[in-house]
Amino acid sequence: MKTILTALLATALVAPSLAAAQGALRPDQQEFFGLYKELIETNTTVTQGSCTEAAAKMAARLKAAGFKDDQLIPFSTPEYPKDGGLVAIYPGTTKQKPMLLLAHIDVVEAKREDWERDPFKLVEENGYYYARGAVDDKAQAAIWTDTLVRFAKAGVKPKRTINLALTCGEETSGAFNGAEWLSKNKRDLIDAEFALNEGGGGRTDGNGKVLVQTLQVGEKAYQDFTLTTTNPGGHSSQPVPDNAIYKLSQALLKVGAYEFPAELNDVTRAYFSKSAKLRGGEMGQAMTAIAANVNDKAALAVLDKDKQFHSTLRTTCVATMVDAGHAQNALPQRATANVNCRMFPGRTADETQAALAAAIGDPGVKIEQKVKGKPIAKSPPLDPAIVKPVETLAAKYFPGVPVVPSMSTGATDGVYLGSVGIPTYGVPSVWTDPDGNGTHGLNERVEAKSLYTARDYLYDLVKTLAG
Per-residue pLDDT for the chain (467 aa), expressed as one digit of tens each? 333 333 333 323 333 334 444 458 999 999 999 999 999 999 999 999 999 999 999 999 999 999 999 999 999 999 999 999 999 999 999 999 999 999 999 999 999 999 999 999 999 999 999 999 999 999 999 999 999 999 999 999 999 999 999 999 999 988 999 999 999 999 999 999 999 999 999 999 999 999 999 999 999 999 999 999 999 999 999 999 999 999 999 999 999 999 999 999 999 999 999 999 888 999 999 999 999 999 999 999 999 999 999 999 999 999 999 999 999 999 999 999 999 999 999 999 999 999 999 999 999 999 999 999 889 998 999 999 999 999 999 999 999 999 999 999 988 999 999 999 999 999 999 999 999 999 999 999 999 999 999 999 999 999 999 99
Euclidean distance between CA atoms 71 and 58, whole angstroms = 13
Q: Judge residue 400's burial from the number of C-beta atoms within 10 Å of its C-beta, 0-12 exposed, 13-18 middle, 19 or more buried.
A: middle
Euclidean distance between CA atoms 353 and 136, whole angstroms = 30
The predicted pLDDT at position 16 comes to 39
Per DSSP, 262 falls in state P
The predicted pLDDT at position 24 comes to 86
Name the packing angle between helices 138-154 and 448-465 (round to 10°).
Answer: 50
β-bridge mates for residue 104, sequence order: 167
The predicted pLDDT at position 173 comes to 83
The predicted pLDDT at position 23 comes to 59
Per DSSP, 260 falls in state P
Euclidean distance between CA atoms 322 and 451, whole angstroms = 39
Candidate CATH numbers 3.40.50.620, 3.40.630.10, 3.40.50.150, 3.40.50.10470; the one for domain 13-219+378-465: 3.40.630.10
Number of CB atoms found within 10 A of residue 373's CB: 7
DSSP string, 319-354: EEEEEE-S-TTEE-SEEEEEEEEEEPTT--HHHHHH
Q: Where are the beta strands (DSSP E) in 23-108?
A: 72-77, 80-90, 99-104
Candidate CATH numbers 3.30.70.360, 3.40.50.1010, 1.10.10.10, 3.40.190.10; the one for domain 221-260+316-376: 3.30.70.360
**Domain parsing of the chain, residue ranges:** 13-219+378-465, 221-260+316-376, 261-314
Given a contact cutoff of 8 angstroms between Cβ atoms, the answer to whether 179 and 417 are in contact is yes
Name which of 458, 432, 420 is nearest 182 in CA terms.
420
